[in-house]
Structure 1
Amino acid sequence: MTSSPATRPTDGRAARWAGQRERRRREFVDAALRAIASHGPEVSTEQIAEEAGLGRTRLYKYFADAADLQGGIADRVTELITAELAPALNAGGTPMRMIRTAIDAHTRWLAEHGNLYRYLTMHSLSAHGRDAVTDVKTAIARNLTVLFERNLELFGASTRLAEPVAFGVVGLVESSTARWLENPGDLGRHELADLLATWVWRLLDAALRAQGVELDPDLPLPVPGEPLATRG
């Protein structure tokens, strides 16, 4: 008796191929990151293939086209930046310490990976309609939104402003740092990070005051269950 499609066992070879394909895609994306670091944002597909140790045409066994490869690179960058920022966003302590730690981590990452950021900017709008830079900023802003919502709930405040404030903060930090990368002048990274931390706090402070909450940026945030002595 022949098994129906619904009850037929999964083809083990197909599952193994899917796993191998995903592993190889990640290897090629990591090779692309190294090639971008070495050759700059105008790196060619041939240079990426050479870094991966195979011919250019073999790349397209695992990627539909150049836009698919660019999308894979954007996804990997999102993972790397999110991993870099995660400890900073969960560091705790005073509001200003959290802000400074996160901004320092973000500006440091961009400064150390300037060619990669420029590559994403050059290929920001792929043939598939994906905007790589927007993908990265959106991922960061969504993580910030969750953080803001969690802290607003401590004060019994509405969380409706969490998302627009998070996206505003990310836009401010990203656009300012991107411009600084191209034209730093006599402004050092640490000075830039300090300025951004001050501006971000003022934005957050205004949003909090609109909810009736006043915080001292240099006092630790309360933990759940503690009295909210700093609430206005």
Structure 2
Amino acid sequence: MAASTGTRVDGRAARWAGQQARRRAEFVEAALVAITRHGPGVSTEQIAEQAGVARTGLYKHFADAGDLQRAIAQRAAELVTAELEPVWHPTEGSPREMIVAAIGTHLRWLTEHTELHRYLVRNALTPPLGDSAIDVKAAIGQHLSRLFTGWLGGFGLDPAPADTVAFGLVGYVESATTRWLDHPGSLSLEEFTAQLTGTIWAMLDHTLRMGGVVLDPDQPLPLPPGAEH
């Protein structure tokens, strides 16, 4: 009898946890809509209104505002890494073509989610969000690091620089893109893409040359073993 009671309790706990997770996900999606409508300075009240609940209703599912902000940052990381999925699994093309494709995909996502990007940047500078705002950058950096590790290993080079190069590129692109989004008249999308592409290739080319590998950025590049995984 005790075992049966325990099973029922465990079942209720599992259902409650599932309901909590679903409600949290629904509130996060509502928050994304509210951010698009109200901008990076969106308030908790505006998010609650979008979700159709009172402000106190949010805090039945989030410990505090920081918890909600962290959940938003995590969701943003999931969205952007999914959008960049083709980048993590390259098939063919020249180095320049691959870089242009990656930058183009990233810029398209950012221009479609400009307010969300600004929200994450804005809240990265003040408590309680803190380091959770780097979730998007960390996710991209980790994917790039694995990709670069495969490339360097395939060329017979030490993969140790992959992490530094990956996160360095992410930081550069994020800073430059934030500036460009705030001052769109300074460079066209095509000019900005070309500038990013040139700088990224320069960093990658330097890393390869340090290991004795010289590539033409405009020649098709056969994938080394492991780079496609």
Q: Answer whether TM exceeds 0.5 for this pair.
A: yes
Regions of 4+ moved over 3 Å: 125-130
Question: Match of 1:131, SS?
Answer: helix
Q: Contact (CA 8 Å) 2:123, 2:129: kept in 1 or not?
A: no
- Shift of residue 171, structure 1, vs aligned partner: 1.1
CA distance in 2, matches of 1:89, 1:16: 35
Q: Contact (CA 8 Å) 2:83, 2:105: kept in 1 or not?
A: yes
Q: How many residues were matched structurally?
A: 222
Give the corresponding residue for 1:211.
211
Q: Contact (CA 8 Å) 1:35, 1:43: kept in 2 or not?
A: yes
Percent identity between the aligned chains? Answer: 54
Give the corresponding residue for 1:17.
16
Give the corresponding residue for 1:31.
30
Give the corresponding residue for 2:116.
116
Give the corresponding residue for 1:44.
43
CA distance in 2, matches of 1:88, 1:135: 18
- Shift of residue 132, structure 1, vs aligned partner: 3.4
Give the corresponding residue for 1:104.
104
- Shift of residue 75, structure 1, vs aligned partner: 0.2
Q: Compared with structure 1, are the counterparts of its residues 127 and 186 closer, same or farther at alpha carbon in structure 2 (3 Å cutoff)?
A: closer
CA distance in 2, matches of 1:177, 1:88: 18
Q: Contact (CA 8 Å) 1:70, 1:126: kept in 2 or not?
A: no
CA distance in 1, matches of 2:186, 2:28: 35
TM-score, scaled relative to structure 2: 0.90
CA distance in 2, matches of 1:64, 1:148: 38
Give the corresponding residue for 2:55.
56
Q: Contact (CA 8 Å) 1:121, 1:132: kept in 2 or not?
A: no
Give the corresponding residue for 2:95.
95
Q: Compared with structure 1, are the counterparts of its residues 141 and 121 closer, same or farther at alpha carbon in structure 2 (3 Å cutoff)?
A: same
- Shift of residue 33, structure 1, vs aligned partner: 0.4
Structure 1 residues 121-144: Cα deviation after superposition (integer angstroms, max 9, x where no partner):
221156456423322111111100
Question: Match of 1:220, SS?
Answer: coil
Structure 1 residues 72-110: Cα deviation after superposition (integer angstroms, max 9, x where no partner):
000000001101111133233221111111111111211
Give the corresponding residue for 2:181.
181
Give the corresponding residue for 1:228.
none
| Between 187-196 and 63-72, the greater mean CA deviation after superposition | 187-196
Q: Could you say which structure has the higher helix fraction?
A: 2
Q: Contact (CA 8 Å) 1:67, 1:126: kept in 2 or not?
A: no
Q: Contact (CA 8 Å) 1:149, 1:159: kept in 2 or not?
A: yes
For structure 1, list consecutive stretches of 5 or more residues without a partner in the other structure: 226-232
CA distance in 2, matches of 1:207, 1:76: 33
Question: Match of 2:101, SS?
Answer: helix
Return the letter of the residue paired with 2:111: A
Q: Compared with structure 1, are the counterparts of its residues 60 and 86 closer, same or farther at alpha carbon in structure 2 (3 Å cutoff)?
A: same
Greater RCO structure (CA 8 Å; 6+ sep): 2
TM-score, scaled relative to structure 1: 0.89
State the superposition RMSD in angstroms: 1.9
Structure 1 residues 8-44: Cα deviation after superposition (integer angstroms, max 9, x where no partner):
5461011001111111111110100000101111111
Q: Contact (CA 8 Å) 2:70, 2:133: kept in 1 or not?
A: no
